[in-house]
Amino acid sequence: MQHTISVLVENEFGVLSRVASLFSGRGFNIDSVTVAPTNEDGMSRMTIVTRGDEQILEQITKQLNKLIDVIKVIDFTDGSGIEREMALIKVTAEDENRAEVLRVVDIFRAKIIDVTPKSYTIEATGNPVKIDAILDLLRPLGLKELVRTGAVAIGRGAKGWKG
């Protein structure tokens, strides 16, 4: 089962490698990982998408908490979070396909951010499932290049992570 975990970390030298080596050293999977600074000084936030059963997820959460630079671990598995991901997609767009690509972009409320006579580059944002769906539609039309950010997640409701 796939899980999305937010990890608040001290913005210290080497913290990304500590988290990454924890996953590789203990044989946990990483499907995606993103990291960037937050609104608080010296604090970064990582979003990790991983997979495993309940026992593995418990170990992942505990092991992350054990790292000295980790301030808080939030598990969004129970649907308490909202997830978004962005993808930049370069597709072939020639002749009759050109109109079809535009229709798909329109349906998914995506944007064309670069255009040439032979291609479109698309920016799509949404739940990772939605990104998968637009890719499924674009693939037969000629998908040339893809870059995804990996998911970011935030809790639902009025409360911040501190409660």
Partner 1 sequence: MKMNGARIMLECLKKEGVDTIFGYPGGTVINIYDELFSFKEIRHILPRHEQAGTHAADGYARATGRVGVCLATSGPGATNTVTGIATAYMDSIPMVIITGQVPTPLIGNDAFQEVDIIGITRPCTKHSFLVRDVKDLALIMKKAFYIARTGRPGPVLVDLPKDVQIAQTEFVYPETVEIRSYKPTMGGHPRQVEKAMDMILDSRRPVMYVGGGAVLGNAAEELTALCRELLIPVTTTLMGLGSFPENDPNSLGMLGMHGSYCANMAMTTSDLIIAIGARFDDRVTGKLTTFAPHAKIIHVDVDPTSIKKNVRVDLPIVGDVRDVLIKMIKQADKLKDKVTAFKTALAPWHDDIAGWKEKHPIGYKNSTTIIKPQFVIQKLRELSDVDAIISTDVGQHQMWTAQFFQFNKPRTLLTSGGLGTMGFGLPAAMGAQVAFPGRQVITICGDGGVQMNIQEMATLVQNKLPVKIVILNNNFLGMVRQWQELFFDKRYSSTCMELPIDFVKLADAYGAKGFSTSKPSDVEKIIKQGFKENGPVIMEFKIAREEKVLPMVPAGAALNEMVLNA
29, 32, 34, 63: residue in contact with partner 1 (rule CB under 8 A):
63
Is 11 near partner 1 (CB under 8 A)?
A: no
Residue 101 to residue 110: CA distance in whole angstroms: 11
Residue selected from 16, 18, 51, 100 as contacting partner 1 according to rule CB under 8 A: 18
Nearest-angstrom CA–CA distance, 20 and 18: 6
Among the listed ranges 15-23, 107-115, 132-140, 149-157, the one in contact with partner 1 (CB under 8 A) is 15-23
The arrangement of strands across the sheet holding 43-51 comes to 32-37, 43-51, 2-10, 70-75
- Buried b vs exposed e over 19-34: b needs ≥16 C-beta within 10 Å? beebbeeeebeeebbb
Residue 152 corresponds to which amino acid? V
Q: How far is the CB of 10 from partner 1 (least distance, A)?
A: 6
Contacting partner 1 (CB under 8 A), which of 1, 36, 37, 65?
A: 65
Min separation Cβ 41 and partner 1, Å: 12
- Residue numbers of the site for partner 1 (CB under 8 A)? 9-10, 13-14, 17-18, 21, 25, 55, 58-59, 62-63, 65-66, 68-71
